[in-house]
Structure 1
Amino acid sequence: MSKEFTDSAVRAITIERDAIEGLLARVDNHFVRACETIMQCRGRVVVTGMGKSGHIGNKIAATLASTGTPSFFVHPGEASHGDMGMITSQDVVLAISNSGNTSEVLTILPLIKRMGVPLISMTGNPDSVLAREAIANLDVSVTLEACPLGLAPTSSTTATLVMGDALAVALLEARGFSAEDFAFSHPGGSLGRRLLLRVSDIMHTGDRIPRVSVDTTLGAALLEMSLKGLGMTTVVDEDGQLQGIFTDGDLRRTLDRPVDIHATPIRDVMTRRSRTIYDDQLAAEALNVMEELKINALPVTNRDGELTGAINMHDLLRAGVI
């Protein structure tokens, strides 16, 4: 019985994969016209669809909205009973119907036309009423549903979803939508923290920065490390410019050879070319540097090279970046 389960799953995945590959040849002039129409839109993209197409439409609208294209979903049945008031002449309508002849969608077409709202369709039938009435039809037809009965929308809904993602990504890149723009659409949770939080928001500053001068003895530097509790101390010159760093790892390496901690200046044992991070960079970038170099702390400077802070893994953990 287990083989029957896996055989069915592999068959379904294979059929849907082939359906997605079939979309490549349909990224054509209609797709370009749809993108251009949406780019010129001064309102929102209003997505509509019935049944399973409606569920896919809801997701497409959410993806568009979170990637720089204002969008929302309107149920076509509700549109006939008052929700047409949500659509303005500045909007673009993206209507989804596998058959292209869904009655609830066709009912609102005359109203959309009367308002002069550009209509883009996404159908599995380029000869349907909906496709013919649209200024651009995105062909999402499939040769075979993954459902062996050919009844439950499976391959067709997957193809529609992928075409919607393709549309959203093309528009995102055309707008020059950035990771920071994306973050403002997702301020909550770990995603928002990773994309919005700057090093300057969580770094240690002022007297909390472990800092010694280049002439400080190793013993005094160790006291500074213990006092500040970051597992390292920065080393600066008289102008406040970062000259190096001394970490727990440096201490272990230093103690492997005879060293007088009360007489040896820190400049003789510090790491001179230490990796730093700018205070205006994302905290997530600091995390990437630490993970890449397998270190637990970083000095923080401004763009002029002046030491402005220090940050370690615990800071990132407390801030929810990790």
Structure 2
Amino acid sequence: MSSLQLSSPPVMRRTKRQWTGWMFVLPFLLVFALVLVAPVIYAVYLSLFRDQLVGGNAFVGFANYVEALTDPNFWDSLGRVVLFLVVQVPIMLLIALAAALALDSARLHAASFFRIAIFLPYAVPAVVAVLMWGFIYGTQFGLVGSFDKFFGIAFDPLAPNVVLAAIGNINTWEFTGYNMLLFYAALRVISGDLYEAAELDGARAFQVIRSIKLPALRPAIVIAVIFSIIGSFQLFNEPNILKSLAPNSISTFFTPNMYAYNLSFAGQQYNYSATIAIIMGVLTAVIAYIVQLRGSRKEL
């Protein structure tokens, strides 16, 4: 009996400590459930219903998803962001990687200035950046228009066939500095012993980059790719703001996010808009997970 009495207080103390830990986590869990879990559940709920002329808001199961997967506007917008992802993201990451390697080489004069200058566009709010580039792209009042008049040409960067490249240029300008800083931080934590060993072996600069720096950058590159994939599928601000300057080039379904936004706020089709959002969320999560799995492998 005495042994049982002696063992009970530690059990009570352990239980109390466990509840104390949950109390510290509880505020985060409440906010997480309120701002993430609840909206996702509500969006899934909306996607299973449809407003009908007869019967009002009726349960239709997966009918909205079937309609979305056969919607040419949805596939057009999805194909556009996939093209944006395939072309713009590698260019942006290569520029960021080159800038990080140059800053880490210790051969670049005024490295601190260039580091701040490259990162500075990321500090500019996205809306301000798009408005600024929209003024530059203007053929009647902007920098491009001045070049057109000076050289006697007629180039419109917001024409239907090149507007996606113009948006990609804005995104590259905005996010190259962020990715550069991500790569540069990963380079700065590489052990100096590796560089000393490479110097003793007579390794050249490109050999050091290939054998030491790039393998060390692998986790940072995977993170940058995942963030870039998410950002590409969430493309909204740039085309939505530029639409007023190029209404004939940027449609209401230019990107999936724009399509869902216009379905909801302009077309009052909340159920179908939620369906588009759920499909894009699942697609983004699946692709990001595949990239993470591929990047976590040790072998190339």
Q: TM-score, normalised by structure 1?
A: 0.24
Structure number having the greater strand percentage: 1
Structure number with larger C-alpha Rg: 1
Q: Which has the higher helix share?
A: 2
